[in-house]
Amino acid sequence: MQQDDSDTGTPEKRAIRSFVMRQGRITRAQERALAELWPSLGIGYKPAPLDLDQVFGRRAARILEVGIGDGETLVELATRRPDADFLGIEVHRPGIGHCLLGIEAGALTNVRVSNHDAVEVLQHQLPAGSLDELLLYFADPWPKKRHHKRRIVQPPFVALVASRLRPGGMFRLATDWAPYAAHMLEVLGASTDFVNTSPSGDYIARPAERPETKFERRGQRLGHEVFDLAFQRR
């Protein structure tokens, strides 16, 4: 259920969410993956720091993708980089199920998934300085002005990301919504925790290592320009 962010006059106002919960259609294969693969590949939520070396059984570079959708980008990146460990967060169960199937098909051992609110996972489960990269690709732009407060890229979220990245770690973003790209650039540019790696001080060329997503392809069909950003933790 979508969290209510309206001022209802109740003593405690609920946190604004950057996502809307929806049931979505789940296939039998996805249900099977959730039942059989989640116990070994899923990370349940509890407000206590994770020991990532224990979770992955080794020490390696750690890359987090927030909002994995169906997990295709996460699976492709993990396949390309067996030297690194990947954690994907997604609130919608069909997407988690699809991702688990991809992990199974690729026999990947360097991927884990979380089916919870990314902000709470970052706040309570991921230790400070535990990430080498955080990826945020094609997040909901919430185009209507009255919904801009729901955009995940806001100063408190940027500060939270910075605290979880090691010094020198990277925050990589992409969107096909020009106003949201400008918003991201403004918010990140105002942060004293990050340095923009763009030579021109705005956007970077599309990184060859970033897989093309279905959201990107859809945006291109609609004639949208894609904007990539890369900010380095000081």
Residues with a catalytic annotation lie at 140
The one-letter code for the residue type at 142 is: W
Pairing label, strands 131-137, 165-175: parallel
First to last CA, the chain: 38
Structure tokens at 124: 């309570």
Strands (E), the chain: 61-66, 84-89, 111-114, 131-137, 165-175, 194-196, 227-233
Using a CB cutoff of 8 Å and minimum separation of 24, what contacts does 22-25 make? Answer: 22/92, 24/92, 24/93, 24/94, 24/95, 25/94
Give me the DSSP letters along 112-145. Answer: EEE-S-HHHHHHHTSPTT-EEEEEEES-----SG
Q: Is 162 within 8 Å of 193 (Cβ atoms)?
A: yes
- Rounded CA gap, 107 and 224, in Å? 35
